[in-house]
A = this chain, B = another copy of it.
Amino acid sequence: MPEYRLYCFAQSGNAYKAALLLALAGADWEPVFVDFFNGETRTPEYRALNAMGEAPILEHGDLRLTQSGVILDYLARRFPDFGPTSEEERREILRWTLWDNHKLTSCIATLRFQLKFLPEEKRLPEVIDFFTRRSGAALRVLDRHLFHRDWIAADHLTTADLSCIGYLYYDHEFPHDLTTFPNIDRWRQRIAALPGWRHPYDLMPGHPLPPGVLS
């Protein structure tokens, strides 16, 4: 059996954060498909794995970890190239990972879910508008931060970059044109050029969705 097992699905940017680290590190891992769109994360069996009812979950030996930020932190200790080289960098990685959870991923993921995965009659226009503005503000903060910087928290790619990039390759699925954020756009291409990089739809199972699964 592979050393690492990641419960994930192709549409999950949170799972992608961990899957991409494993891919870039050349780790010995396998994805375990989570059938999110058929309600698997709401079953008692899945809640027994993760009471928060979320993907991803990482299994490594006897350890089972949840929350993408915890998994990234754990993997960065196993693959130190993706971690900090000083206490200051450690704090900076934590800072941007928290910010991502609070301001970027949470808004982009909700926005995309409304637009891409809900049938039109269930979409909430005011909520879509709210998250479009919120995520736009977050993208502006990140774009300014990446001015004259290659990476978010250090002079190399760290788990802070992997956290913030989670949903940004699904960019035809939310209303922001990322080419209008030039520093984000270059950083995104920089990551996509790394050996081992793959798009979330290629890296994790479950794409495309079977017809009618969302109806």
Residues of chain B contacted by A27 (CB below 8 angstroms): none
Answer whether A141 and B65 are a contact pair too, CB < 8 Å, given A102-B106, A126-B125.
no
Query: Interface on A for B, CB 8 Å cutoff?
Result: 51-53, 65-70, 73-74, 91, 94-95, 97-99, 101-103, 105-106, 124-127, 130, 141, 144-145
Q: Which listed residue (B74, B98, B106, B130) contacts A67, Cβ 8 A? A: B98
Chain A: interface secondary structure? Answer: helix
Are A95 and B124 interface neighbours, CB within 8 A? no
Answer whether A70 and B94 are a contact pair too, CB < 8 Å, given A124-B130, A126-B127.
yes
Residues of chain B contacted by A66 (CB below 8 angstroms): 95
Q: Give 5 CB contacts A-B under 8 Å.
A: A67-B94, A69-B94, A70-B95, A73-B91, A73-B94
Stoichiometry, as copies per complex, reads: 2
Alpha-carbon separation in the docked complex, A101 to B104 (Å): 11
Other than A52-B103, A126-B127, give 15 A-B pairs with Cβ distance below 8 A: A51-B145, A52-B141, A53-B141, A66-B95, A69-B95, A70-B98, A98-B98, A101-B101, A101-B102, A102-B102, A102-B105, A102-B106, A125-B126, A126-B126, A127-B130
Answer whether A91 and B65 are a contact pair too, CB < 8 Å, given A124-B130, A127-B127.
yes
Q: Distance (Å) between the CB of A143 and the closest chain B CB?
A: 11
Q: Which of A52, A97, A145 has the most CB of B within 10 A?
A: A52
Q: Which residue of B lies closest to A77 (CB)?
A: B87
Residues of chain B contacted by A99 (CB below 8 angstroms): 52, 67
Are A74 and B51 interface neighbours, CB within 8 A? no
Are B101 and A98 interface neighbours, CB within 8 A? yes
Q: Distance (Å) between the CB of A23 and the closest chain B CB?
A: 22
